[in-house]
Homo-oligomer: A and B are copies of this chain.
Amino acid sequence: MDNLDILGAFRTIIRMRRYTTRLRSLDRPGIVHAMTGVMLEHGANIVESAQFSDTDTGLFAMRTTFETESLDIRSIDSSFDSVRDSMGAEIELRAIDQPYRALIMVSKYGHCLLDLLHRHADGELAIDIPLIVSNHTDLVPVAERFGIPFEHLPVTPETKDVAESRLIDLISVHNIDFVVLARYMQVLSDAVCSMFQARIINIHHAFLPAFKGSRPYHQAHERGVKLIGATAHYVTTDLDEGPIIAQAVEDVYHSDSVEDLVRVGRDIERIVLSKAVRYHAEDRVILVGSRTIVFD
């Protein structure tokens, strides 16, 4: 029996738990050594690790997935206090078997919602989806099909405040970790945007920063571009200016009507949004100012 066999045998006998840690700090010598030192104390194997030193800001970011026999997350988390203290680092730890809880918000278009639900059903998205919220009832049948509770939250200029209060309640009641705007056509108030910084993901149906605002496919058609795109980003109080998580484009041609752009765009939108949700769900995104580090 050679080494590899022993390693394999070892893994099947012992039940290991996986954790992901994210670190953000000022760049300085010894951070990786300190972090891996703590992991070693817990007998951890590093499964995946990535780091990045941002020369513009002098910040250092690191994401590591490791597995260990230790099942007590509190104990592991407190072991990192030494690094927090000595390095002035922000460190977050999460057990992979505890998926984030995501609230999905939609209006009338179902393609992004469907894509998220199918990937979820296929096991591609490690999230729980306790609730879908919409300002319309068009997508009730989709929610029913997948057995997910649906709450209709109509929004008019008069009811906007009440609706947002209700939204905040729902987020709290359902222990929501992050919100996905899957073609939700209402603008959230500054208050909500500020309350859930880097926790609301939106899909904008254009290659930002081109074609901000409404009807981007009409804008794109009029401008005669040869590519159209979509952008998934965190929502900030500054509309369509939030940190970008993922983008993609497709070729379009002079013969494509606005309707064709919309059709092509649907594919891009759903792929880009689902990718961004996956990145967020797997703790792959770290915010540095108005930009994102994505440890893909």
On A, residues with C-beta under 8 Å from B are: 3-4, 7-8, 26-33, 36-37, 39-40, 43-55, 57-58, 111, 114, 118, 122, 124, 145, 207-211, 222-227, 229, 243-249, 253-255, 257, 263, 266-267, 271, 288, 290-294, 296
B46 near A294: Cβ-Cβ < 8 Å: no
Given contacts A55-B257, A227-B248, contact A40 B44 (CB under 8 A): no
CA of A7 to CA of B245, assembled, Å: 29
B224 near A244: Cβ-Cβ < 8 Å: yes
Chain A interface SS verdict (over half): mixed
Query: Among the listed B4, B114, B226, B267, which residue makes an inter-chain contact with A26, where contact means beta carbons less than 8 Å apart?
Result: B4
B293 near A58: Cβ-Cβ < 8 Å: no
B36 near A254: Cβ-Cβ < 8 Å: no
A-B CB contact pairs (8 Å), 20 listed: A27-B45, A29-B46, A30-B36, A33-B33, A33-B39, A48-B255, A111-B122, A124-B263, A207-B207, A207-B210, A207-B227, A207-B249, A209-B211, A223-B291, A226-B245, A226-B246, A227-B249, A253-B294, A254-B291, A254-B292
User: In the assembled complex, which residues on chain B have CB atoms less than 8 Å from the CB atom of A263?
Assistant: 122, 124
The residue on B at minimum CB distance from A115 is: B118
CA of A136 to CA of B60, assembled, Å: 41
User: In the assembled complex, which residues on chain B have CB atoms less than 8 Å from the CB atom of A246?
Assistant: 226
User: In the assembled complex, which residues on chain B have CB atoms less than 8 Å from the CB atom of A33?
Assistant: 33, 36-37, 39-40
User: In the assembled complex, which residues on chain B have CB atoms less than 8 Å from the CB atom of A48?
Assistant: 52-53, 255
User: In the assembled complex, which residues on chain B have CB atoms less than 8 Å from the CB atom of A27?
Assistant: 7, 45
B271 near A267: Cβ-Cβ < 8 Å: yes
User: In the assembled complex, which residues on chain B have CB atoms less than 8 Å from the CB atom of A51?
Assistant: 46, 49
CA of A114 to CA of B224, assembled, Å: 28
